[in-house]
Amino acid sequence: MQINNLFELGWTHFFQAQRDFDLLTSQWPFRVVAVQRSLIECVGLDKQGQPQSLTLPTYFWRHEPPEAYPTVGDWLLVDAKLQPVHLLSRKSLIKRRSAGKTSVIQLIAANLDTLFIVTSCNAEFNLNRIERYLSLAAEAAIDCIFVLTKADLCPDVSPFTHALSANYPTLPVEIVNATDPSSLKRLEKWIDAGQTVALLGSSGVGKSTIVNGLKGSAQQTTAPARVSDNKGRHTTTSRSLHRLPGGGLLLDTPGMRELQIADSEGGIQSTFSEIDQLAAQCRFKNCQHHSEPDCAVAKAIKSGEIEPRRLENYRKLLTEQMRNNQSLAQRRRHDRALGRFYKHAQKSARQFKSKE
Ligand SMILES: Nc1nc2c(ncn2[C@@H]2O[C@H](COP(=O)(O)OP(=O)(O)O)[C@@H](O)[C@H]2O)c(=O)[nH]1
Ligand SMILES: [Mg+2]
Ligand SMILES: [Zn+2]
């Protein structure tokens, strides 16, 4: 990744404003471009203004809450010894509750300007899943573009485009054959220089193929060649940030089998805003829109104005995020208690030492 200035990495006034004026010549911003299990890869300019790639161990953040941990797209300030000293506040963040039983937040990507919601013109296409992505994006205030892949394998794409334009009339839809770079040209207008665009979608929809096509190289391993390697080569199991010839930044994410939503009540409400607005007209303030009298939502479903699927998905996502928030709150209380314990133990150890 050859860079000449920080703007090429997505640096803006928002980040500049966070720098301490006195430390301008002793701390330098680096952008996180990849996170492997125990290592954080970042790129920036050193004190001579020379491009530098750093690989930092993740142990700097060992006892921090997950949100304080750097993720792809983050900006770090690094000192003269090239050690990270500070994680800059994020412009936007997408996260999920990690898969499995443990209730922890997993960060997906930070400082995104636009999200490409990638989905295929085949059985993978699923409105419920799309609404999950839209809720995450709305919560983080990130603009979304739909990218419909595998159009070349589909005799008629209109059912897919109609489903998107009927449900989400304000969002742009681009139809591509991801394996044909000339077809990907139409995506370039959504990726301005210095802008960060992330690709989100199920495994196999063509995210890495899009990255390769737009980069004009084949660095991101795509599905048929996918092998788990231990050599630190990029595979789609890790997230990574790529610079495009046009100056934009593209962030590939791994296909996440389960994208459990948490901390996103506002995002869900804005994704289903028409239901929320109608609910204000129900007779009862706490109407659940099941069989209550004078329910405006039930009326809209009966008249075909709202799809029953959408109401069901709205309920499902709200319930899921409430349940996840409860278990996350429990976990956070536990982490805070553990943090206090460590601090106390360290203090006692120091006092003990100073007495020696
Ligand atoms: N014919 C066709 N194949 C595609 C398209 N997009 C992706 N593929 C193929 O689908 C497979 C999965 O693509 P990949 O980029 O690895 O998906 P990812 O998991 O979303 O990163 C690869 O074999 C791609 O060549 C498309 O638009 N048309
Ligand atoms: Mg991939
Ligand atoms: Zn109601």
For residue 282, the ligand closest to its alpha carbon is 3
Q: What is the pLDDT of residue 236?
A: 42
The answer on 119 and 49 residing in a single domain is no
pLDDT at 10 > cutoff 70? yes
Give CA–CA dist 265/343, Å, rounded: 33
For residue 280, the ligand closest to its alpha carbon is 3
Phi, psi of 151 (to 5 degrees): -60, -30
The residues placing their C-beta within 5 Å of ligand 3, an ion, are 282, 287, 289, 295, 297
Amino acid at 214: L
Q: Is residue 257 part of a domain?
A: no
The answer on 16 and 153 residing in a single domain is no
- What would the pLDDT profile of 136-149 be if each residue is shown by its tens digit? 999 999 999 999 99
Mean pLDDT calculated for residue range 288-307: 93
Any idea what the CATH number is for the domain that residue 52 is in? 2.40.50
Quote the tokens at residue 200.
């989100």
DSSP for 171-183 reads: S-EEE--TT-HHH
- What would the pLDDT profile of 114-173 be if each residue is shown by its tens digit? 999 999 999 999 999 999 999 999 999 999 999 999 999 999 999 999 999 999 999 999
- Least Cα distance to 95 among 133, 64, 125 occurs for 133
Distances (CA, A) of 66 to 62, 117, 234, 253, 333: 9, 25, 23, 18, 13
Count of CB atoms within 10 A of residue 179's CB? 17
Average pLDDT, the chain: 86
Give CA–CA dist 225/45, Å, rounded: 34
For residue 299, the ligand closest to its alpha carbon is 3
Amino acid at 228: S
CA of 150 to the centre of ligand 2 (A): 15
Count of CB atoms within 10 A of residue 36's CB? 15
Q: Is residue 260 part of a domain?
A: no
- Count of structural domains, the chain: 3
Say if CB 69 and CB 107 are below 8 A apart.
yes
CA of 292 to the centre of ligand 1 (A): 47
CA of 341 to the centre of ligand 3 (A): 48
Rounded to 5 degrees, what angle do the CA atoms 79, 111, 205 make? 125
Any idea what the CATH number is for the domain that residue 341 is in? 1.10.40.50
DSSP for 235-267 reads: -TTSEEEEE-TTS-EEEE----S--B--S-HHH
The answer on 311 and 194 residing in a single domain is no
Locate the ligand 1 atom nearest the alpha carbon of residue 151 and give its number.
27
Q: Is residue 1 part of a domain?
A: no
Give CA–CA dist 195/253, Å, rounded: 17
Cβ(177) to ligand 1 under 6 A? Answer: yes
Q: Mutation test of ligand 1: which of 152, 184, 222 has the most ligand atoms closer than 8 Å to its C-beta?
A: 222
Residue nearest ligand 1's atom 7 by CA: 206
Q: What is the pLDDT of residue 224?
A: 38
pLDDT at 225 > cutoff 60? no
Say if CB 185 and CB 157 are below 8 A apart.
no
The answer on 79 and 99 residing in a single domain is no
- What would the pLDDT profile of 31-80 be if each residue is shown by its tens digit? 999 988 788 999 998 877 788 888 988 888 877 788 889 999 999 999 98
Domain assignment of residue 301, given as a range: 265-355
Q: Is residue 223 part of a domain?
A: yes
Count of CB atoms within 10 A of residue 169's CB? 7
Final residue before a domain boundary, out of 89, 120, 147: 89
Give CA–CA dist 278/352, Å, rounded: 64
The answer on 285 and 333 residing in a single domain is yes
The answer on 148 and 57 residing in a single domain is no
CA of 172 to the centre of ligand 1 (A): 21
